[in-house]
Chains A and B, each alone.
Chain A
């Protein structure tokens, strides 16, 4: 149980285009989903927290107009990287939790390369 999937697992896009990453909780309803970014050989940095049906809360320094997050249902959250630039190339990981005291279950990550 408690499986989280991400799609796509990797994507290459051209500079200036937008790319959407999906995060799904497969066997539970996720009240909250989190989006992280991880640069090579570095740790995970929280980008934003999203609750179903409400606006995402972004961490300091994360541009909300560039990283659009939608949490339309209890099993799906999407992250759209708009007008992507090479410096947005990174590993994006989502996690989902069932409740206030619940563990975070992590997806397998999406490798984004912007050329």
Chain B
């Protein structure tokens, strides 16, 4: 399977804490993207990082990419209850097709 792996599969933390999710992939990529999915809903695009970038920030989100290890991490700082969702990484290698990781289910406890 081309799908990458994400860990942890599930993460439960207290509101205000930071949440870190990791994604590993198998092939060379052009871009890696992170998406959020609330239960039963569509995907919300969070951030895109290109293969020649190492780190990117967007608000409370910080994404790193290590192409030598074929891995990426998503850090959400100062978590809020509204951050409760599933988070997926997705990679593409120029053919437009996205390959999604297995996802991390994040629960923020008030």
Contacts and interface: CB of A to CB of B under 8 A. Distances in A.
Decide whether A and B assemble into one complex.
yes
Interface string B25-51: 000000001010000111111001000
Q: Size range of the interface on B?
A: 20 to 34
A44 B88 contact: yes
A93 B101 CA distance: 16
Contacts, number: 46
Contacts of B44: 106
A11 B93 CA distance: 34
B97 A109 contact: no
Interface centre among A41, A95, A105, A111 (most CB of B within 10 A): A41
A13 interface: no
A108 B88 contact: no
Nearest to A5: B42
